[in-house]
Amino acid sequence: MPSPPRQLRRVGRWAIKEVSRARADVGAMQSRFESVVTNLGIVEENTAATRGRIVDANYAVETANLSRAQILQQGGVTMVAQANQIPQAVLQLLKS
């Protein structure tokens, strides 16, 4: 049977190894958490940038749709104006 001082040293070495192992486990876990936090920050930033591009793209589409509608409306107004002039032109021809 080992003497008490020797047994204490053995227990002390075992305790130091266990504490070192636990510290390594905690350090590894902390490193993984830091990696996850960094990754989530990047995901958040990318999501915000993508959302901005989607909003901008929708704005561009809606602006193009508005321009198209305005062009069609102007064309319609022009056609109605020309159609209104036809009867007067016919009357002019009949008078001459």
Structure confidence by residue, pLDDT tens digits, 18-33: 999 999 999 999 999 9
Helix or strand (DSSP H, E) at 2: none
Per-residue pLDDT band at 54 (split at 50, 70, 90)? confident
Measured CA to CA, the distance from residue 39 to residue 47 in angstroms comes to 12
Q: Please name the amino acid found at residue 42.
A: I
What pTM was estimated for this model as a whole? 0.50
How far the first Cα of the chain sits from its last, in Å, is 139
Look at residue 94 in the predicted model and tell me its pLDDT. Answer: 82
Name 51's Cβ contacts closer than 8 Å, sequence gap at least 6.
Answer: none
